[in-house]
Amino acid sequence: MPAPFTRRPTAPEAPPPYYNQTYNSIGPPNGPRLGSGLNQFQGLIPTSAASTSPPNERSPILPINAVSYTTPLPESSSPLPGPHHGGKIFEFPTITPKIQIAIILMLAVLLGGIARPVFDEFSLDPYYPSVREQIRHEWELERDRSHREQDAERAAWQAELRSHDIVRARLAEERARLDSERLAYEDQKRRDAQREQEEEANRRAGLHWGHLHPHDRCSGYRRKEYSAKLEGAESGYVGDRKKDCEATPVKIHGVTIDRPYWCEDLGACNGTWGHWIFEEEDTCAPYWDNLQDLGCTGPSSGVHRYQAQLIDFPWESGWHEMCMVTPNTLQGQYQPHPNNCDNHGNHGVWGIWFIPDAMCS
């Protein structure tokens, strides 16, 4: 604190107007009271006031914490601002407990904001000994936990493998038992079939087919039905006629057929008949002749028209039926049947084909 300045007057002066003897306070005699016994005010009291005051008057008493400043008056003759004469009074603000608490809190927040990044930096730095020790400790805990989990999973796997081995052993035993039963069943079935074959062979030793009767109509292109009666299965026959019919072969036009297409049992009087469909019948194989190219069916039609005459077909089988089942080959393409058939009377039966042709587009 700077040393006070003292201005020494040339003549005795009366007490300053801002010293109030009645109220013992700092301020003008008739002016407002500025305070009494407070350490917030500091005044300016001339040093000569104490020496020139009357003996029976009290000297101005300043507060305990008050500091007296005596400053020299300015050289200018203009009066000092304010109600004072010869000096200034400096006033400091009052610091209440609430303001002190607020200041402490602000300092704490400021210090916390500064110290937090530093603390975080040291607390997360792996090169810091305590942090490295914490990381090592966490690694050890994680390793121990992982080992315990692996041990538990390994134990569960081993238990599951043992259960699978038990189930596998049971399945193997069941499979062996089933294989044994299957082999025994197949062996018994084979012996039974062999015995039945021997019995049927002995029974069918006198069985044979009678005269073959071809049907009048063809069943299709190169297809014709034949029928014959099974001989040797007359009355008194104790075997199964239908079964013996299905097991007796026949020979048609030198071709051996192992079994009929179907068998018909007409009773003891009419006997058992077998029926066959012979698929190499030459009498049911007409052919096409006199092929005629009738050109395109129309402009940009993309269709070419052909016609040919059907030759050597059995009329009793029906001209339309035989025409629609007789194949032909046109432009290198196999045609299973014509698109249409026409009967021109004395001029014969004609088949008509409509073949796609790019030349007609």
Q: What's residue 237's pLDDT?
A: 59
| Range in 109-123, 204-218, 243-257, 340-354 with the lowest mean pLDDT | 109-123
Residues with Cβ within 8 Å of residue 224, at least 6 apart in sequence: 214, 215, 218, 277, 278, 281, 283, 284
* Distance in angstroms (rounded) separating the CA atoms of residues 352 and 162: 78
For the cut 60, the answer to whether the pLDDT of residue 75 exceeds it is no
Q: What is the mean pLDDT of residues 59-71?
A: 47
* Helix 129-203, helix 97-124: angle, nearest 10: 50
pLDDT in tens, 116-153: 666 666 566 666 677 778 888 899 999 999 999 999 99
Given this model, what pLDDT does residue 267 score? 76
The mean pLDDT of the chain is 75
DSSP state of 4: P
Band of pLDDT at residue 20, cut at 50, 70 and 90? very low
Q: Are 318 and 310 in contact (CB under 8 A)?
A: no
pLDDT digits (tens, 9 = 90+) for 242-271: 888 888 888 888 888 888 988 988 877 788
Backbone phi, psi, residue 183, to 5°: -60, -40
What does pTM read for this prediction?
0.41
Phi, psi of 213 (to 5 degrees): -115, 105
The more confident residue out of 217 and 53 is 217
Looking at residue 43, what is its pLDDT? 43
Contact 262, 242 (CB under 8 A): no
Percent of the chain at pLDDT above 70?
66
Compare 64 and 340 and report the one with higher pLDDT.
340
- Report CA dihedral (243, 248, 253, 254) to the nearest 10 degrees: 150
286/68: higher pLDDT: 286
What is the DSSP secondary-structure string of 153-202?
Answer: HHHHHHHHHHHHHHHHHHHHHHHHHHHHHHHHHHHHHHHHHHHHHHHHHH
Q: Are residues 88 and 44 in contact, defined by beta-carbon separation less than 8 angstroms?
A: yes
Structure tokens at 12: 């005795």
3-state class of 304 per DSSP? Answer: strand
Paired with 228 in beta bridges are: 274
Distance separating alpha carbons of residues 245 and 230, to the nearest angstrom = 7
pLDDT score recorded for residue 149: 93
CA distance 25 to 62: 8
Residue count (the chain): 361
